[in-house]
Structure 1
Amino acid sequence: MDTSKTKMLPPLEAAVKKYQFDIQVKNVSRLCHPKPIVTVNGMFPGPTIYVKEGDRVLINVTNHVQYNMSIHWHGLKQFRNGWADGPAYITQCPIKTGNSYTYDFNVTDQRGTLWWHAHILWLRATVYGAIVIMPKNGTSFPFPQPYSETNILLGEWWNTDVEGNVKQANKLGLPPKMSDAHTINGKPGPLFPCSEKYTYAMEVELGKTYLLRIINAALDDELFFAIAGHNMTVVEIDAVYTKPFTTQALLIAPGQTTNVLVKADRTPGRYFMATRAFMDVPISVDNKTATAILQYKGIPNSIMPVMPQLPAPNDTEFALNYSKRLRSLNTPQFPANVPLKVDRHLFFTIGLGKNPCLTCQNGTKLTASLNNITFVMPKTGLLQAHYFNIKGVFTTDFPDRPPTAFNYTGAPLTANLGTSLGTRLSRVAFNTTVELVLQDTNLLTVESHPFHLHGYNFFVVGTGIGNFDPAKDPAKFNLVDPPERNTVGVSTGGWTAIRFRANNPGVWFMHCHLELHTMWGLKMAFVVDNGKSPEESVLPPPSDLPQC
Structure 2
Amino acid sequence: MAWWPDGGFLMMMMTIISFVQAEDSNRFFDLRVTYGNVSVTKYVPPTRVILINGKFPGPELYLVTNDNLIINVHNDLDEPFLLSWNGLHLKRNSYQDGVYGTTCPIPPGKNYTYAFHLEDQIGSFFYFPSLAVQKAAGGFGAIRILSRPGTPVPFPQPAGDFTILIGDWYTGEDHKDLKARLDGGRMIPRPYSVLINGNEDTASTSLTVDKGKTYRFRISNVGLQLSLNFEILGHMLKLVEVEGTYTIQTKFTSLDIHVGQSYSVLVTMDQPPQNYSIVVGTRFTDSRSTNRIILHYSNSKSSKFVPNRQPDNDIDFSIKQARSIKTNLTASRQRQDAQGSYHYGRIKISRTLILESSAGVVNRKQRYAINGVSFVPADTPLKLADYFKIKGVFKVGSIPDKPGRAGIRLETAVMGVHHKDFLEIVFQNREKYVQTYHLDGYNFWVVGIGNRWSTWSHASRRDYNLRDAISRSTTQVYPKSWTAIYVAFDNVGMWNFRSEFWARQYLGQQFYFRVHSPANSSRDEYPLPKNALLCGRASNRHRRDFIP
Fold in common (TM above 0.5): yes
Match among 492, 516, 522 for residue 503 of structure 2: 516
The 2-side partners of 1:322 and 1:61 are apart by 39
Contact 1:229 1:308 in 2 (8 A): no
Map of 2:337 onto structure 1 = none
Map of 1:67 onto structure 2 = 79
SS for the counterpart of 1:33 is coil
SS for the counterpart of 1:319 is helix
Contact 1:28 1:35 in 2 (8 A): yes
Contact 1:224 1:310 in 2 (8 A): no
| Deviation for aligned residue 1:168 | 4.6
Q: Deviations over 1:337-374 (max 9, x none)?
A: 425310111111111223342xxxxxxx3221110111
CA distance change for structure 1 residues 298 and 72 in 2, over 3 Å: closer, same or farther? same
| Deviation for aligned residue 1:20 | 0.4
Q: Deviations over 1:3-28 (max 9, x none)?
A: xxxxxxxx999700000010011221
Contact 2:24 2:66 in 1 (8 A): no
CA distance change for structure 1 residues 475 and 162 in 2, over 3 Å: closer, same or farther? same
Q: Which amino acid aligns with 2:409?
A: S
| Deviation for aligned residue 1:328 | 0.7
Map of 2:290 onto structure 1 = 289
The 2-side partners of 1:35 and 1:213 are apart by 26
SS for the counterpart of 1:386 is helix
Map of 1:16 onto structure 2 = 26
Map of 1:28 onto structure 2 = 38
The 1-side partners of 2:331 and 2:215 are apart by 26
Map of 1:412 onto structure 2 = none
CA distance change for structure 1 residues 309 and 159 in 2, over 3 Å: closer, same or farther? closer
Check if 1:346 corresponds to 2:346.
Answer: no
The 2-side partners of 1:533 and 1:29 are apart by 51
Equivalent residue runs for 1:58-207 within 5 Å: 58-88=70-100, 90-125=101-136, 126-170=138-182, 173-190=185-202, 196=204, 199=205, 201-207=206-212
The 2-side partners of 1:378 and 1:513 are apart by 20
CA distance change for structure 1 residues 535 and 60 in 2, over 3 Å: closer, same or farther? same
SS for the counterpart of 1:244 is coil
Map of 2:539 onto structure 1 = none
Map of 1:320 onto structure 2 = 319
SS for the counterpart of 1:347 is strand
Map of 2:9 onto structure 1 = none
SS for the counterpart of 2:39 is strand
Q: Deviations over 1:30-69 (max 9, x none)?
A: 2232132111101111111111111111100010011210
Match among 210, 213, 218 for residue 213 of structure 1: 218
Contact 2:290 2:310 in 1 (8 A): no
| Deviation for aligned residue 1:173 | 3.3
Contact 1:115 1:128 in 2 (8 A): yes
Map of 1:408 onto structure 2 = none
Q: Which amino acid aligns with 2:401?
A: D
The 1-side partners of 2:24 and 2:441 are apart by 26
The 2-side partners of 1:425 and 1:171 are apart by 23
Q: Which sits farther off after the overlay, 382-391 or 11-20?
A: 11-20
Contact 1:349 1:440 in 2 (8 A): yes
| Deviation for aligned residue 1:304 | 3.3
Check if 1:530 corresponds to 2:508.
Answer: no
SS for the counterpart of 1:169 is helix
Contact 1:226 1:308 in 2 (8 A): no
CA distance change for structure 1 residues 463 and 159 in 2, over 3 Å: closer, same or farther? closer
SS for the counterpart of 2:265 is strand
SS for the counterpart of 1:425 is strand
The 2-side partners of 1:446 and 1:517 are apart by 15
Contact 2:235 2:253 in 1 (8 A): yes
CA distance change for structure 1 residues 161 and 545 in 2, over 3 Å: closer, same or farther? farther
Map of 1:237 onto structure 2 = 242
Q: Which sits farther off after the overlay, 478-487 or 388-397?
A: 388-397
Check if 1:448 corresponds to 2:434.
Answer: yes
In the alignment, structure 2 segments of 5+ residues that lack a partner are 1-16, 335-340, 536-548
Q: Deviations over 1:66-113 (max 9, x none)?
A: 12100001111101111111112x111110101111111111121111
Identity of counterpart residues, as a percentage?
Answer: 31
| Deviation for aligned residue 1:115 | 0.9
Q: Which amino acid aligns with 1:420?
A: R
The 1-side partners of 2:171 and 2:198 are apart by 13
The 1-side partners of 2:133 and 2:519 are apart by 39
| Deviation for aligned residue 1:298 | 3.7
In the alignment, structure 1 segments of 5+ residues that lack a partner are 1-10, 358-364, 405-416
| Deviation for aligned residue 1:220 | 1.1
Give the CA RMSD over aligned residues. Answer: 2.0
| Deviation for aligned residue 1:218 | 0.9
